[in-house]
Amino acid sequence: MIEVKGLQKSYGQVHVLRGVDFEVATGSIFALLGSNGAGKTTVVKILATLLKPDAGTARVHGIDVARRPADVRNAISLTGQFAAVDEILTGRENLVLVAQLRHLKRADRVAGELLTRFGLTEAADRKVATYSGGMRRRLDIAMSLVGNPPVIFLDEPTTGLDPQGRIEVWQCVKELAGRGTTVLLTTQYLDEAEQLADRIAILHEGRIIVDGTLTELKQLLPPVKVEYVEKQPTLEDVFLAVVGSRGTDN
């Protein structure tokens, strides 16, 4: 569903992406894991046609992002680091507005179905200003799904949320993949990638340094024996080992 080869991007003398390669299977959750400044958001912006790469190619839903950006936009949805909801409107009004902007028929019905799907029916007619952080994020993701795009990009979707809000968003993301949506998730939270992703790539200093399933990544480190009990390495152990061995971010 997503294919990235040799992606490069620089800002002056600052090389943000230095040749990024990865693939995302249809209907899966792919986590792009990295520290602040690793280049995660730059990758998402390129895939969402908001930024042009200096070199390399990227295809989303079989479409070249540089040659056919309008077609790519019709196949994707992007949820940024902060919820893009109108606090003056109600949850239902936010969804109806997006449906109307996408020229969908029966916008009220579309809104109602998404409110039910994301557990927001009881709060549907309340102003979004009264929503909790987790509720706003769920509404934001629901708005991204108006029109049923096959691919959705979630750029650090749980930034600033409390533990309960994070769990609510995790449930939403798992449901997306369960319904066949392909999800590319960027995060700096190791437990988030561990909980959600079918496949994880660690981006460090502009390059993918490891890419695999959680089981495959854990096999990069030997188990630790403590009092004769074998301890499997966590994703945090893997991340710190592979990143730490390559120095610190610029």
In the chain, the amino acid numbered 141 is I
Two structure tokens written together for 22: 């990865």
The CATH architecture one would assign to domain 2-244 is 3-Layer(aba) Sandwich (3.40)
How do the pLDDT tens digits run along the chain, 250 residues long?
999 999 999 999 999 999 999 999 999 999 999 988 899 999 999 999 999 999 999 999 999 999 999 999 999 999 887 778 999 999 999 999 999 998 999 999 999 999 998 889 999 999 999 999 889 989 999 998 899 899 999 998 888 888 888 888 898 899 889 989 999 999 988 899 999 999 999 999 999 999 999 999 988 877 766 565 667 788 877 887 888 755 544 4
In the chain, the amino acid numbered 119 is G
Chain-centroid distance of CA 99 in Å reads 22
* Domain spans, the chain: 2-244
Q: Is the pTM of this model over 0.75?
A: yes
Chain-centroid distance of CA 231 in Å reads 30
What DSSP assignment string belongs to 170-222?
HHHHHHHHHTT-EEEEEES-HHHHHHH-SEEEEEETTEEEEEE-HHHHHTTSP
Please answer whether residues 53 and 41 qualify as being in contact, where contact means their C-beta atoms are separated by less than 8 angstroms.
Answer: no
Whole-number Cα distances in Å, 26 to 2, 41, 62, 136, 141: 8, 21, 11, 27, 19
